[in-house]
Amino acid sequence: MKLHEYQAKGVFADAGLPVPESRLASTVDEAVAAADEIGYPVAVKAQVQVGGRGKAGGIELVESETEARDAAAAILGMDLKGLHVDRVLVESAVDFVDELYAGVTMDRAKGDPVAMVSTEGGVDIEAVAAENPDAIAREHVDPDSGLQPYQARRTVFEAGVDREVATDVARVLTTLYDLWAERDATEIEVNPVMVTADGDVVCADAVMNVDDDALFRQSELAAMEEEAAGDDLEAKANEYGFDYVRLSGNVGIIGNGAGLVMTTLDLVDHFGGTPANFLDIGGGAKAERVTNALDMVFADENVDSVVFNIFGGITRGDEVAKGINEALAQFDEIPKPVVVRLAGTNATEGMEILNTDLVTVEETLESAVERAVEYTEGDR
Ligand code: GDP
Ligand code: MN
């Protein structure tokens, strides 16, 4: 589960971390009122869960009521990297001289948490890690003892942070680590930590991801989940009870079983395509579930073709085929070509039933995936 910036900053503030004064707004008038209360200049920030909002036009710094109104009007309702912006965070602007990075995550290779600091903040940290890994100071943490103050100071000095602010930055890092451990976070990232001319340290952005399997004991965070669902399609998937992950490609994938879906993803890649999603509709494939799945995949504007990978077990292939026919019959027009591969119990009967006016039936998984990838290339 990913928290929104405003939610993560609320958690940060409760833990005593320095965050700018801010208010959440969902209308232009609310945003202007918030800005007036906080006092100018303010930053108006889109609350969607994507990185790089600044570059994408989702953040504006404003000096007056007129500017605040224009900025809120421009950002609210905007489509930011595929996500609809329905709320902005209006925040006291920070006049900074330096942007740092601080974060805590799990180093899976080492099997320990790792705390990180860099003076190359305010830019894409993955790019820094790839091009200039030495610019990020790292400290592995023994989970039994936590991040000790001396370790935090060592990391901060190793990163080359100015002495005047080193103690404050080290305190931010230990607090982030404590939050990471206590709140069952998988990742916490502050990029940038801003340093002002007066030597103040402020957490200007906040990313916090929480382990879904720990939400049962993180009731405060679990309560934020509803609003934080983020991607509209992921929220829809929750509602339907599907396991769904949106990816960046254009081949929509639907299967009944996680392993089947994973295999399909690999094959799409193998045939030179890119998966648009992982969608496991679970056991059975009643018409309603198939309709819901198709609804979701068709709603993804990146999808150019869809491949079904269904294995008939207890649910027989002919029942699944009926489900697919019924589901597709509900659409006036099939918006994107659909390829079906059926295997297992009564697969042959199923393939005979499938309405080939609506779908392309392929005998093997390889040919089905290959066909779906061809369709994305406009080759019908
Ligand atoms: P992200 O682009 O989604 O990571 O959003 P951030 O909150 O990290 O903001 C991106 C960039 O916008 C920062 O690195 C700053 O350069 C700028 N920015 C954000 N908030 C402020 C602010 O309060 N004051 C100033 N001067 N710049 C800001
Ligand atoms: Mn950021």
53, pLDDT greater than 70: yes
pLDDT at position 233, please?
Answer: 81
Active-site residue, 150 included? no
Residue 331: pLDDT band with limits 50, 70, 90:
confident
357 and 245 in one domain? yes
Q: What is the pLDDT of residues 342-351, one digit of tens each?
A: 999 999 999 9
292 and 188 in one domain? no
Indicate whether 258 belongs to any domain: yes
366 and 236 in one domain? yes
179 and 80 in one domain? no
Contact predicate 200/213, CB 8 Å: no
Contact predicate 320/342, CB 8 Å: yes
Q: Please name the helix (run of DSSP H) or strand (run of DSSP E) that holds residue 27, with its range, or none.
A: none
CB atoms within 10 A of CB 230: 18
Domain CATH number, residue 75: 3.30.1490.20
271 and 177 in one domain? no
pLDDT at position 380, please?
Answer: 47
Q: Compute, in angstroms, the gap from residue 156 CA to the centroid of ligand 2.
A: 19
Last residue of a domain, one of 60, 92, 124: 92
**Residue 251: which domain range?**
232-376
Q: Which atom of ligand 1 is nearest to the CA of 123?
A: 14
pLDDT at position 289, please?
Answer: 86
pLDDT at position 239, please?
Answer: 80
The arithmetic mean of pLDDT across residues 196-207, rounded, is 97
Q: Compute, in angstroms, the gap from residue 87 CA to the centroid of ligand 2.
A: 17
Number of structural domains the chain divides into: 3
Q: Compute, in angstroms, the gap from residue 93 CA to the centroid of ligand 1.
A: 9
303 and 212 in one domain? no
Active-site residue, 189 included? yes
347 and 244 in one domain? yes
Indicate whether 227 belongs to any domain: no
Residue 67: pLDDT band with limits 50, 70, 90:
very high
pLDDT at position 320, please?
Answer: 85
Ligand 1 pocket, mutate which of 59, 63, 119, 196 (most atoms under 8 A from CB): 59
Q: What is the pLDDT of residues 235-292, one digit of tens each?
A: 788 788 898 988 889 999 999 899 999 999 999 999 999 999 999 988 766 778 888 8
Indicate whether 11 belongs to any domain: no
The arithmetic mean of pLDDT across residues 218-233, rounded, is 75
Residues having CB within 6 Å of any atom of ligand 1: 43, 51-54, 59, 61, 93-94, 96, 99, 122, 191-192, 204-205
Beta strands in the chain (DSSP E): 22-25, 42-46, 59-62, 79-80, 83-84, 88-92, 96-107, 112-118, 136-140, 185-196, 201-203, 207-210, 243-246, 251-255, 277-280, 305-312, 338-344, 360-362
The ligand with the least distance to the CA atom of 54 is: 1
Indicate whether 135 belongs to any domain: yes
Last residue of a domain, one of 189, 219, 249: 219
Residue 112: pLDDT band with limits 50, 70, 90:
very high
173 and 82 in one domain? no
Q: In the sheet that 88-92 helps form, which strands lie side by side, from edge to edge? A: 22-25, 88-92, 42-46, 59-62
More confident residue, 44 or 312: 44
175 and 119 in one domain? yes
- From the list 6, 101, 177, 375, the catalytic residue is 101
Last residue of a domain, one of 92, 119, 134: 92
> In a 10 Å sphere around its CB, with 0-12 CB exposed, 13-18 middle and 19+ buried, how is residue 125 labelled?
buried
When mean pLDDT is compared across 22-26, 81-85, 99-103, 128-132, the lowest value belongs to: 81-85
The ligand with the least distance to the CA atom of 22 is: 1
Q: Compute, in angstroms, the gap from residue 236 CA to the centroid of ligand 2.
A: 27
The arithmetic mean of pLDDT across residues 152-171, rounded, is 98
C-alpha distances in Å from residue 251, one per residue of 44, 77, 274, 292, 298: 36, 28, 6, 17, 11
108 and 66 in one domain? no
Domain CATH number, residue 167: 3.30.470.20
Q: Compute, in angstroms, the gap from residue 204 CA to the centroid of ligand 1.
A: 7
When mean pLDDT is compared across 91-105, 152-166, 320-334, 350-364, the lowest value belongs to: 320-334
Share of the chain above pLDDT 70, in %: 97
pLDDT at position 338, please?
Answer: 96
**DSSP 8-state class, residue 302:** T
Indicate whether 6 belongs to any domain: no
Contact predicate 119/135, CB 8 Å: yes
Overall pTM surpassing 0.85 (yes/no) = no
Residue nearest to atom 10 of ligand 1 (CA): 54
150 and 68 in one domain? no
Domain CATH number, residue 290: 3.40.50.261
Indicate whether 113 belongs to any domain: yes
Name residues with Cβ closer than 5 Å to ligand 2, which is an ion: 191, 205
Contact predicate 342/312, CB 8 Å: yes
Indicate whether 2 belongs to any domain: no
370 and 236 in one domain? yes
Contact predicate 102/172, CB 8 Å: yes
Indicate whether 265 belongs to any domain: yes
pLDDT at position 287, please?
Answer: 75
